Amino acid sequence: MIQVVKADGTAEKELLASLRSRSGEVDKQVAGQVATIIEDVKQKGDAAVRDYTLRFDGHCPDLFEVDREVINDALSQADEEFVSSLLNAMENIAAFHQKQKQQSFIDAQPNGVILGQRIRGLARVGLYVPGGTAAYPSSVLMNCVPAKIAGVGEIIMVTPPRKDGTPNPDILVAAAIAGVDRVFLMGGAQAVAALAFGTESVPKVDKIVGPGNIYVATAKKLLYGVVDIDMIAGPSEILVMADETANPVYLAADMMSQAEHDVLASSILLTTSGRIANDTVAEIERQIKELSRAEIVRKSLETYGAVIVCRSIDEMVALANELAPEHLEVMLENPFEYIGKLDNAGSVFLGQYAPEPLGDYFAGPNHVLPTSGTARFFSPLGVDSFIKKSSYIYYTADALCQAKDDIVRIAECEQLTAHANSIKVRFS
């Protein structure tokens, strides 16, 4: 079912290269369709959103905005234990992200120069939340909580209607708990475009965050520059590093927990033990029979899964840094020993009792992570994702006089004589 390869310097490289094929360029046909939707929404506003909602979702509400009473009712009618679990998760998420908050600063120097940096939250952020078969209340918390901590002025959520035209109640519960300001019942590329340009109903936002299908991801990519976005998210992925001390039962379960997301999800095990490799494959076969999404899991593991038997832990570390996975589980005897060596990963899970779903739902660090190797240069979503910075400068006449010759010299080297003149006229 899942490929098993012994690392020899070549075989594992060829295997990993083939696995990367899942993260190709955006489908040109999809890009063309999305570009048309974006232009229609830009020109026609709500009318275009309504047309596409009817076409793709089968039902369009009379009013796009969900009434606040409907949101409050969803919260009051929700299962108390579910609400409690969301509140516990939100407490952990908030505690972690509070530590990321930066402060503005001012640097007053002895010569009268004053330099500084002002940090503030974005004015308005749009949050896309899938609401059909893939409805994720946890994503509402993960996107909304750091935005609130950053000081974002207003959070606008869009989520597609269900088949009967109503919102997903679990999504509304999470929105109420997290403090979403307004909720609009629309989805797909048309919702992303509505957030980017604004319509008669939907206010224009400064940034769009949140997961979605290929049409949503493509719309965000095409609209980057009109608005900011969190990242271009590809299929989900997990890389697990295991030595002889790891438990194959846990390894199999964790790999399949990621594989159930999508047939394009990737689950890879690196291990120094042939026994662990074989036992994990056997455990996958045993456990998969009990899973509700077994067909998706099997297809994902067959196409984009792998078990690679490495010659050393150092080789595993090197492969992990090369792959730069979204999720990295370190199932080694002394996992803390390797934190300083694992440079490229969205989120690292250490030890036998820190499985990836712990990060998805509860621990506190954000679950919006870079995929497809982009952890080499991207970071997880966080408070920094929702702020903007401005610097400011004040010089006295004496301080500028001391600096003028250097400034003029550099400006004239660049042949920007007007720049040089702006300095010279103050001392002529």
- Residues annotated as catalytic are 326-327
Residue type, 60: C
Q: Give dist(CA 4, CA 155) in Å, integer.
A: 46
Look at residues 190, 212, 187 and name the one whose alpha carbon lies nearest to residue 34. Answer: 190
Q: At what angle do helices 188-197 and 28-44 cross, to 10 degrees?
A: 50
